[in-house]
Structure 1
Amino acid sequence: MTEVLLIVGVLTAIFVGYNIGGSTTGPAFGPAVGANVITKVMAAGLMSIFFFLGAYTIGPKVVTTLGEELVTDTAIFTLRSNVAVLFFIGGALFIGNYAGVPASTSMTAVGAIAALGMATGELNWDVLGEIVVWWVVAPIVGFWVAGVVGRYFYPRINAWVAIEEKEAGRPMVSIDRSGLVPRLQFGVDADRREITGALTVVAIGCLMGFSSGTSNIANAIAPIYGTGDVDMTTLILIGSAAVAVGCFTIARRTLDTLGNDITNLPLTAAIVVAVISSGIVVTLSSIGVPASFVVIATMSIVGLGWGRATRTTTLSDAARGEETPVSVGALTAEAEGERSPEIGEEEPEDIPQASDLFDPSTTARVILMQNVVPAISTVGAYLTFRFLPIFGF
């Protein structure tokens, strides 16, 4: 019976990893796919590789936090309870993926494990409190860092990058397999600047894939690791393989949502947001804190737009009490490569509104599901462990 439960637990962990691949590929490579820089297949391949690298190098620290430190007694991680925890994590994420929405895997997983701890009286409130504090602080840090970049550095970055979206058809970056050794192949009419821009977008996606691996591998394997029945390396390999399957299959839905439907976010802005968000996630993962990339990235977009919009007002004007109309739509004020006016030279009416950047209906659906998915995981797990006697607690 024990061996059967272990197999079921591993299979459930694979199901969770599959859905993690589906929910994290979109945020990482949605901009590159949406701009027709690379194909969905190439995005899936790169995501799989860099997710594994992040999971293998920094990921074990987050696995330890969720699998050993979030609860005061790891004995509650029985094979039977692990199946239930992973079922609620994977099931909730599957609902988000089916809706085409990349939900927060970290919040979903922490919610399910914390629910098990609360139901059994073994939750380590100090560790949970630390995680929640960072969940509050990290988006604020992302907002202000992005705000400073938006006000003082975004125009220079925008003029330097100059990445233009390509028409549907052959992607900017592809792989030439005609020779003995495959090599990168670029668009026929691409100049050096366009090639640099395309490689930049892809490199940022790889960075995001790496940061996802550092934080999200724990969401699939931490409960199984907590039992001590399977070693860390084996679980990372299994989890990463499951993520790869999700990248090549169900991730197509979130790639469409993040690449085309939700926003017209300029690629320059996407690069800035990705660098800031990935940097924060990797930093938190290195100290063992699971972080929500989706939430941090959302606040970074708002902060970047706020900083860009405040360029209509100088500090001396602000000191005199002049108000600044603020909108994330300011990120669409100029095209990639276009030089922006100096601070104070623009008029507020020159700044587009937020509706020019976000699709309201899709944005509302994404925000709703990002809250619903972790709630389903947490509430469902708590009620199950608290009131169903089959788990023996």
Structure 2
Amino acid sequence: MVELLLLVGVLVSVFVGYNIGGSTTGPAFGPAVGAGAVSKSTAAALMTTFFFVGAWTIGRRVVDTLGSDLVTSAGVFTLETSIGVLFFIGLALFVGNVFGVPASTSMTAVGAIAGLAVANGALDWEVMGGIVIWWVVAPVLGFWVSLIIGRYFYTRLDRLLAMDESDGTVFELDREGTIPTVSVHDDASSREAIGVVSVVLIGCLMAFSSGTSNIANAIAPLVGAGALEMNPAIAVGGLAVGIGSFTIARRTLETMGSDITDLPLTAAIVVASVSAALVVFLSFIGIPASFVVIATMSIVGLGWGRATRPISVSAAVRGETDETPPVSVHALAADGDGEPVPPIGEEDPADIPTPGELFDPATTARVVIMQNVVPLISTIGAYLTFRFAPFF
């Protein structure tokens, strides 16, 4: 009977890891994919690699503490309750992935564990309160920092980086020699190559950060219950995340990379930098980072800031007073013409996009709603099950 329960527990853990790969690959590499820096397959490979590195190095610490920090009694974790917690985590994440919305694995996992703890009267409310406060503050910080950058600094950053986007690939691989070599494509500039490398490296940093915190969401209950040893559990969880990254994550990559907003390279670097900085900070102070929400709000903030740049009366009368025709995001990203950057408020109205051209409000609303619904599913489901089910 114990062996059967253990097998069920491992399968549920794999299911959770699969959905973690699906929900976290989008926030980490969605900007890079949306900017055309890497393909979806390359993003999945990078996500799998750096997630595992983060899980194997720092992630084991989170596994050791997740089962004890939120609960006042470690005895609430048994093999049966661990399976129940993992089931609700996986189910909630699967709902988000089906809708193509990358839900927060940290919020979902903490919610399921909190539901178990409340049902048994063992939740540490002080620890839970501190986590929730940072979950509110961090996305707001990401939104406003990105909005300010988009509103006041984006144009100058874009000119400084001067990353014109070429139509083809940025790098080309030469396999003729004994050792394959990589070079910048003839149609791509060196600045564009630097930009591509930068946004991919930031994505790798986010994948590493995800591994340090999210591996615990897939295996901590089983490890805490003594059902699995640490190293085999990390290996199983990392493999499951990789499978999710190569399969179901394709939908969340589209949502984070193109459905919300069509990101040029400069915008992708801004979003990834702001999100990664906040995630690293939260990890440093021991808060399970909800970087899925931070990345989403950073994208929305940057798009909103770009769409609401101030226009002076003198700038308005220089151009058409009627409504200007739409301007594509990629056209706005192109520069390198040597023209000076106009002062803020002095741009031509035709050079400033509308909010709908930078991000899709309907998709944004769907993402925000689902990112709140998914953790509620795991929290309420776990509480009701562990509070009233007779077999727990």
TM-score by length of 1: 0.86
CA–CA separation in structure 2 for the residues paired with 1:90 and 1:332: 37
Which of 231, 245, 251 matches 1:233?
A: 231
1:59: Cα distance to partner? 2.3
Question: Is 2:117 aligned against 1:117?
Answer: yes
1:273: Cα distance to partner? 1.4
1:14: Cα distance to partner? 1.3
User: Which aligned pairs between 1:174-185 and structure 2 lie closer than 5 A?
Assistant: 175-184=173-182
AA in 2 matched with 1:256: E
CA–CA separation in structure 2 for the residues paired with 1:141 and 1:331: 24
- Is the Cα contact below 8 Å between 1:308 and 1:331 reproduced in 2? no
Structure 1 unpaired stretches of 5+: 315-328
- Is the Cα contact below 8 Å between 1:26 and 1:256 reproduced in 2? yes
Name the SS of the counterpart of 2:263 in structure 1: coil
Name the SS of the counterpart of 1:58 in structure 2: helix
Corresponding residue of 2:100 = 100
User: Which aligned pairs between 1:302-321 and structure 2 lie closer than 5 A?
Assistant: 302-305=300-303, 308=306, 312=310
AA in 1 matched with 2:270: V
Question: Is 2:255 aligned against 1:254?
Answer: no
**Closer, same or farther: CA 387–278 of 1 in aligned 2, 3 Å:** same
User: Which aligned pairs between 1:150-169 and structure 2 lie closer than 5 A?
Assistant: 150-165=150-165, 167=167
1:304: Cα distance to partner? 3.4
AA in 2 matched with 1:376: I
AA in 1 matched with 2:64: T
1:68: Cα distance to partner? 1.6
1:44: Cα distance to partner? 0.9
Corresponding residue of 2:322 = none
Query: What percentage of residue pairs aligned between the two structures are identical?
Result: 63
AA in 2 matched with 1:5: L
Question: Is 2:41 aligned against 1:38?
Answer: no
Corresponding residue of 2:274 = 276
CA–CA separation in structure 1 for the residues paired with 2:64 and 2:219: 10
**Count of equivalent residues:** 375
AA in 1 matched with 2:251: R
- Is the Cα contact below 8 Å between 2:149 and 2:302 reproduced in 1? yes
Question: RMSD of the TM alignment (CA)?
Answer: 2.7
AA in 2 matched with 1:384: T
1:164: Cα distance to partner? 4.5
AA in 2 matched with 1:385: F
Corresponding residue of 1:324 = none
1:147: Cα distance to partner? 4.0
AA in 2 matched with 1:4: L
Which of 210, 213, 237 matches 1:212?
A: 210
- Is the Cα contact below 8 Å between 1:65 and 1:288 reproduced in 2? no
Which of 278, 296, 299 matches 1:298?
A: 296
Moved more, 345-354 or 364-373: 345-354
User: 1:306-354 CA distances to partner (integer Å, 9 max, x unpaired)?
Assistant: 555676389xxxxxxxxxxxxxx99889324466422342377853221
1:47: Cα distance to partner? 0.8
Corresponding residue of 1:223 = 221
Name the SS of the counterpart of 1:296 in structure 2: helix
- Is the Cα contact below 8 Å between 1:112 and 1:382 reproduced in 2? yes
**Closer, same or farther: CA 148–220 of 1 in aligned 2, 3 Å:** same
AA in 2 matched with 1:276: V
1:302: Cα distance to partner? 4.1
CA–CA separation in structure 1 for the residues paired with 2:207 and 2:341: 31
Name the SS of the counterpart of 1:334 in structure 2: helix
- Is the Cα contact below 8 Å between 1:311 and 1:342 reproduced in 2? no
CA–CA separation in structure 2 for the residues paired with 1:116 and 1:369: 22
1:161: Cα distance to partner? 2.9
Name the SS of the counterpart of 1:184 in structure 2: strand
- Is the Cα contact below 8 Å between 1:39 and 1:171 reproduced in 2? no
- Is the Cα contact below 8 Å between 1:13 and 1:220 reproduced in 2? yes
Corresponding residue of 1:373 = 374
User: 1:145-171 CA distances to partner (integer Å, 9 max, x unpaired)?
Assistant: 33443455433321233445555xx64
1:115: Cα distance to partner? 0.3
CA–CA separation in structure 2 for the residues paired with 1:374 and 1:383: 14
Name the SS of the counterpart of 1:37 in structure 2: coil
Moved more, 21-30 or 153-162: 153-162
**Closer, same or farther: CA 59–341 of 1 in aligned 2, 3 Å:** farther
**Closer, same or farther: CA 216–91 of 1 in aligned 2, 3 Å:** same
Corresponding residue of 1:320 = none
Name the SS of the counterpart of 2:182 in structure 1: strand
Corresponding residue of 1:351 = 352
CA–CA separation in structure 1 for the residues paired with 2:259 and 2:302: 20
AA in 2 matched with 1:346: E
1:254: Cα distance to partner? 1.6
Name the SS of the counterpart of 2:353 in structure 1: coil
Corresponding residue of 1:71 = 71
CA–CA separation in structure 1 for the residues paired with 2:172 and 2:331: 31
TM-score by length of 2: 0.86
Corresponding residue of 1:7 = 7
CA–CA separation in structure 2 for the residues paired with 1:188 and 1:333: 21
- Is the Cα contact below 8 Å between 2:27 and 2:102 reproduced in 1? yes
1:235: Cα distance to partner? 2.2
**Closer, same or farther: CA 175–213 of 1 in aligned 2, 3 Å:** farther
CA–CA separation in structure 1 for the residues paired with 2:47 and 2:292: 16
- Is the Cα contact below 8 Å between 1:89 and 1:109 reproduced in 2? yes
Question: Is 2:147 aligned against 1:143?
Answer: no
1:218: Cα distance to partner? 1.7
Corresponding residue of 1:80 = 80
1:81: Cα distance to partner? 0.7
1:70: Cα distance to partner? 0.7
CA–CA separation in structure 2 for the residues paired with 1:368 and 1:228: 36
